[in-house]
Amino acid sequence: MRLFFALGLDEKTNQAAREQLVRYHHHLCGEGRAVPDQNLHLTLAFLGEVPDTKLSALQAAASNLALPAFSLTTSGVEVWDQPKIACVTFNQPPPVLFDLAHHLQSLPVWHAKADSHAFTPHITLRRGVKDQQALHLPPLPTQTFACQRFGLYASPSSASDESIPRDNEGRALYQCLHQFSLC
Ligand code: 2AM
């Protein structure tokens, strides 16, 4: 299974902030492919292909992390060149977010795929944005998200797999396998 840890930002207290983010997301048009609403998340650690036999040890290791809950305030939307995405970024993300990502990237049971980029918290909205001038980016209203839990998600390895859950446009959806509470 191709796995990653992420903040789903879908706690009940985030409902208004999430709805506003989704509305903004629907207004973006032009360049690139929109991420399905249900897949909006902040990746903490991308693990790559992990054998099923490692799953329970991975969950146990992540459950043992005792890190405090925190909040995240959006700063705006940026277009990056590497990877070519449009994404939400955050204003002064707290050190505990970086601690959480670091711990999840280096769990003894499975180390995350080495990434050439430093961890930069973001929520990808559109992929394949090759020409940023072709994407109309209205200002993003500032939103604060409470982060009280994170999840372990499965991402489909093959786009043609018929057993993958999909949205009504046929786009593959991530599956949350387990959620973990912050303190
Ligand atoms: P993103 O966080 O920038 O959107 C599942 O594929 C998630 O893991 C995606 O959200 C993706 O990017 C993130 N990810 C990080 N490194 C990846 C990699 N090497 N391959 C695929 N996805 C990766």
Q: Residue 97: pLDDT band by 50, 70, 90 thresholds?
A: very high
Q: Are 153 and 178 in contact (CB under 8 A)?
A: no
Q: What is the mean pLDDT of residues 115-139?
A: 90
Measured distance CA(157)–CA(81) in Å, rounded: 24
52 Cα: distance to centroid of ligand 1 (angstroms): 20
pLDDT over threshold 70, residue 42: yes
pLDDT over threshold 80, residue 114: no
146 Cα: distance to centroid of ligand 1 (angstroms): 22
94-98, 110-114, 116-120 — which is least confidently predicted?
A: 110-114
Give the pLDDT score at 32.
95
Q: Residue 78: pLDDT band by 50, 70, 90 thresholds?
A: very high
What are the helix (H) ranges across the chain? 15-27, 55-63, 95-105
pLDDT over threshold 70, residue 116: no
Q: To test ligand 1's pocket by mutation, which of 3, 4, 7, 176 has the most ligand atoms within 8 angstroms of CB?
A: 4
Q: Are 14 and 21 in contact (CB under 8 A)?
A: no
What does the block give as tokens for 100?
Answer: 């959480």
Measured distance CA(180)–CA(104) in Å, rounded: 12
What CATH number is associated with residue 59?
3.90.1140.10
Residue closest to 160 by CA, chosen among 169, 168, 172 = 172
Q: What is the mean pLDDT of residues 173-179?
A: 97
High-pLDDT (> 90) share of the chain, %: 84
pLDDT over threshold 70, residue 98: yes
The number of distinct structural domains making up the chain is 1
Q: Name the residues annotated as catalytic.
A: 41, 122
Q: To test ligand 1's pocket by mutation, which of 37, 39, 46, 88 has the most ligand atoms within 8 angstroms of CB?
A: 46
176 Cα: distance to centroid of ligand 1 (angstroms): 15
Give the pLDDT score at 127.
97
Q: What is the mean pLDDT of residues 130-140?
A: 89
ipTM, two decimals, is 0.94
Residue closest to 7 by CA, chosen among 85, 74, 87, 100 = 100
- Mean residue pLDDT across the chain: 94
Q: What is the mean pLDDT of residues 117-123?
A: 93
pLDDT over threshold 80, residue 11: yes
> Which protein residues are within 6 Å of ligand 1, measured from CB?
4, 43, 46, 113, 115, 124, 155
Residue closest to 100 by CA, chosen among 75, 70, 79, 130 = 70
Those residues with Cβ within 8 angstroms of residue 102's Cβ, 6 or more apart along the chain or in another chain: 119
Closest ligand 1 atom, CA of 35? 4
Show the domain range for 139.
2-181
53 Cα: distance to centroid of ligand 1 (angstroms): 22
